[in-house]
Amino acid sequence: MAGSTFGNLFRVTTWGESHGPALGVVVDGCPAGLMLKEEDIQDYLDRRKPGQSPIATARSEADRVEILSGVFEGRATGSPISLLIRNTSQISRDYGDIASCYRPGHADYTFDRKYGFRDYRGGGRSSGRETAGRVAAGAIACKILRQLGIEVCAYTLSIGPVTVDPGRFDARAVRETRTAMPDREADERAVAYMEDAIKRLDSVGGVMECRVSGVPAGIGDPVFCKLDALLAQAALSIGAVKAVEIGDGTAVSSRYGSENNDAFRIQDGHVVKATNHAGGILGGISDGSDILLRAHVKPTPSIYAPQQTVDASGHEIEIRIKGRHDPVIVPRAVVVLECMTAITLLDAMMANMCCRMDSLERFYKKRD
């Protein structure tokens, strides 16, 4: 089925494979009047771009975005915005080894079973490169949210056993460290951990966290389009993510109610929560506190150590994966989580505008 579209009012359709001529996205429903230029988007793509650090893949892509439609004289027109990113660094090598075998932890086998065959070059549609389109779309969502006073910020929370220390949280470090950790000390230890894994031809996993501040209360649509439910879909749609937590997440299952409930109180005349175990969402609707979610990412399945697997003819074989692979997915996936969160939230905020009769009356200026 058609699974490459996400969202209803702010609707994103991505396309493209790792080794095709290009990747891209169509953003339909972008509010007219938004000032938008390629730099706004490029900035986000650059954060996802490979080849920036010794721990990232050696593939070097310019990932230059081109706006093909929907923007006129620097402003979004309300018509679909088509964004194009040419693939420029595909190495034309022999993929015969991958073509005929199923790499452990990859989608080779499942694509073959579903579609009968697959574009095996660099993972095809299941490559991490697919996320370039999401990031391009998410850059637009982030810009809109910022104009509404909302900041979405994702970062690496842990890599293997190395976890960020909240006491050393440094937002600027996210874009400056090789791991996208907001803690320079943890970054150093994480890099050492990864370098050790690389030496042993292995890869490592990690955790990404995303915090959204400035979200108004009231966003989300029970019962199936609860904000947390859609954020979970968004996060788990990112390749290699295997678990999603909202607020305190898995920790809540071993707590008492008296520990876990967030007391309401009044601050400066507003209702606030004394704590935020809930991660900013109650009953599937934002409560005005920061939204907090975490996504657990498995280790890069492509490792250089030999592995047992099978080929398409049904023979058991040993493979050694070549090519260019990040030993850890997390640092480059952080911006993808940020973008998917922004897209999900913006779409829900747009839907929220028509949920009350007084909003309709005010908008259409026909008060009783």
Residues 157-196 that bind its own copies (CB under 8 A): 158, 160-161
Q: Is 35 strand, coil or helix? A: strand
Least separation, in Å, of the C-beta of 300 and its own copies? 6
Does residue number 210 form part of the binding site for its own copies (CB under 8 A)?
no
Closest CA to 296 of 270, 330, 324, 320: 330
Least separation, in Å, of the C-beta of 213 and its own copies? 13
Residues 6+ apart with CB under 8 A from 115: none
Residues 6+ apart with CB under 8 A from 311: 100, 101, 102, 317
Residues 301-320 close enough to bind its own copies by CB under 8 A:
301-303, 305, 307-310, 314-316
Closest CA to 178 of 56, 44, 329, 302: 56
At 146, which helix (H) or strand (E)? helix 131-147
Least separation, in Å, of the C-beta of 345 and its own copies? 12
Given 53, 80, 89, 175, the residue binding its own copies (CB under 8 A) = 80
Residues 242-301 close enough to bind its own copies by CB under 8 A:
242-250, 252-266, 269, 271, 274, 278-279, 281-288, 296-301
Given 186, 191, 229, 345, the residue binding its own copies (CB under 8 A) = 229
Handedness of CA 165, 49, 23, 18 (dihedral sign): negative
Given 70, 122, 138, 331, the residue binding its own copies (CB under 8 A) = 70
Query: Residue 214 has which token pair?
Result: 């400035």
Least separation, in Å, of the C-beta of 82 and its own copies? 4
Residues 117-136 close enough to bind its own copies by CB under 8 A:
117-119, 121, 124-126, 130
Place of tokens 């929370």: 157
Q: How many other CB atoms sit within 10 Å of the CB of residue 86?
A: 16
Which one-letter DSSP state was computed for residue 263? P
Q: Which is nearer to its own copies, 172 or 274 (CB)?
A: 274
Does residue number 26 form part of the binding site for its own copies (CB under 8 A)?
yes
Least separation, in Å, of the C-beta of 310 and its own copies? 4
Computed on alpha carbons and rounded to an integer, the radius of gyration of the chain in Å comes to: 22
Residues 94-113 close enough to bind its own copies by CB under 8 A:
102, 104-107, 109-111, 113
Least separation, in Å, of the C-beta of 159 and its own copies? 8
Does residue number 228 form part of the binding site for its own copies (CB under 8 A)?
yes
Residues 6+ apart with CB under 8 A from 224: none
Closest CA to 294 of 134, 140, 155, 144: 155
Q: Which is nearer to its own copies, 168 or 265 (CB)?
A: 265
Least separation, in Å, of the C-beta of 59 and its own copies? 18
Residues 138-157 close enough to bind its own copies by CB under 8 A:
144, 147-149
Query: Residue 32 has which token pair?
Result: 């007219």
